[in-house]
Amino acid sequence: MTERAVRAQSATIWDGGVHPFAVSHKKLGMWLFIASDSLTFSALLVAYSYVRLATEHWPTPFHLWPSISMATIMTFCLLSSSVTMVMGVAASKRGEKARAIRYLLLTMLGGTAFVVLHLNEWLGLIREGVRLWSNPWNVPLFGATFFTLTGLHMVHVATGLIYLGVIAAGVSKGRFGHEEVEVSGLYWHFVDLVWMFIFPLVYLLSVSAA
């Protein structure tokens, strides 16, 4: 469709244009999912912030080393994987399939590094005696909110890894085109975006005073 035709179409948005938003149905679907998922995460983050402020002696177990340093490296991994994702989307738009797949695999590498580092963090806390319902500092809500928030996010990252793997395989077989890559990119950036809230709220508000 020529640009003029698109403009003619959007001129009749209010008459029921075929694509009033000028996005494909797959992209619109992913954006609607992101809107609803962001509300899920917001509810959890607000609930966490609420009990964080209302609790007088909230535990501050995160030392500069290893917890905060590791969490900062994890942030770096996710942000960098977002950049490689954007590069992958750009490459697939130019029709460079092999390059797009390479960038998708790099993105998955960043995501895998994130999950491995985060699981290591979890195991460290579990070894210290932090559970969903109890912990050494007698603020049960600490473990409950920490594991729920970071757990839900980690599920999203793990799902994203599978998603990107499927897309990369599909692109190499020629089953998927640019559109699918772009939509998977939206999901991946959203996972990155959510971590931008979890990192300061969960980690930086509980840094060890020492």
Partner 1 sequence: MSIGIEETHAPHGASLYYWVWIYLLAITALEVFLAYEHLFSTQVMLAVLMLLSVVKAGLIMAYFMHLRFEKAVFVLCLVPAVVVVISLLAAFFPDSYRLLELRVR
Tell me which residues touch partner 1 (CB under 8 A).
Answer: 1-3, 5-6, 10, 13, 18-25, 31, 35, 38-39, 42-43, 46, 49-54, 56, 64, 68, 72, 75-76, 79-80, 82-83, 85-87, 90, 93, 179, 182, 185-186, 189-190, 192-193, 196-197, 199-201, 203-205, 207, 209
Question: In angstroms, what is the minimal distance from the CB of 134 to partner 1?
Answer: 22
Nearer to partner 1, 3 or 127 (CB): 3
Q: Is the dihedral of CA 124, 128, 133, 139 positive or negative?
A: negative
Cβ burial, residue 97 (10 Å; 0-12/13-18/19+): middle
Nearer to partner 1, 121 or 192 (CB): 192
Phi, psi (rounded to 5 degrees) for 62: -90, 110
C-alpha of 73 from chain center: 15
Tokens found for residue 137: 């500092």
Nearer to partner 1, 135 or 184 (CB): 184
Q: Are 141 and 51 in contact (CB under 8 A)?
A: yes
Nearer to partner 1, 122 or 197 (CB): 197
